[in-house]
Amino acid sequence: MGKQKIQEAFAEVETRGEKAFIPYIMAGDGGFGKLKEELLFFENAGATVVELGIPFSDPVADGPTIQKAGQRALEQGTTLELVLKHVKEIRKEVKIPIVLMTYLNPVFAYGIPRFAEDCKAAGVDGCIIPDLPFEEEQIISGHLAKSELALIRLVTLTSSKDRIAKLAESAEGFLYAVTITGITGARDSFSQEVTAYLKQVKELSPIPVLAGFGISTPEHVTAAIQACDGVIVGSRIIDLIEKNDLDAIKELIHASKKSGITLS
């Protein structure tokens, strides 16, 4: 299904007049025995897509919480090959779209053509590669396209309007709008600058725009979805999973359902 499955998930959200919610979890954190359980929880709780992190030793975009989760996963012996193997095993039961978040180095080490083929075989629907420059993405984009996988592009607060327009023009699945200048982690509130930025990205993008980085409370979710099509929550999700506070995760997801504004 690949990118089509992501499109269908967003279409369902739009039909319900809601906004999208994408949780981030680290593959292998706590062992692979938890993976199916976590994915089914998010599926049943109303998440739109799950972003599944691949642990890496030098995660340049990740804040302390996600770095620690990655380190725990690496200590458990987690590899890209093992992640794909386990995703494939649970795919018959888990229906929610899955997008891998990985850095370029593990993909190079794995072999780009093999990576794309194995992602498709495992039932992965798309990839986020934050250290892949737009100008160099042809090294992998063709292989992902052949396997019907969405390559999720990122834009940032420091991206020019022209660059945002270029990225949006070729974007697939959804456009990831980074809402802080720096690494992942919690924030206190949304500024007018961030709201204006999200609205600008939304105006330029033909596909859904999701805000990510630093979103950690229902209030953040409510604020972000006034200016875009949904949110991605990572560090806070990992914290809450560690605490086994599933009710707080449900509150975050529920906040994305209360906008009363349809996607457009």
| Catalytic residue annotation | 51, 62
Q: At what angle do helices 112-122 and 138-146 cross, to 10 degrees?
A: 30
What is the arrangement of strands in the sheet containing 209-212, beginning at the earlier edge strand?
150-152, 126-128, 98-101, 50-53, 20-26, 230-233, 209-212, 175-178, 154-155
Cβ(47)–Cβ(24) below 8 Å: no
Please give the C-alpha separations between residue 69 and each of 26, 118, 234, in angstroms, as whole numbers: 6, 24, 11
Residue with structure tokens 């009363």?
260
Phi, psi of 250 (to 5 degrees): -60, -35
Q: Supply 48's token pair.
A: 């739109």
The amino acid at residue 50 is V
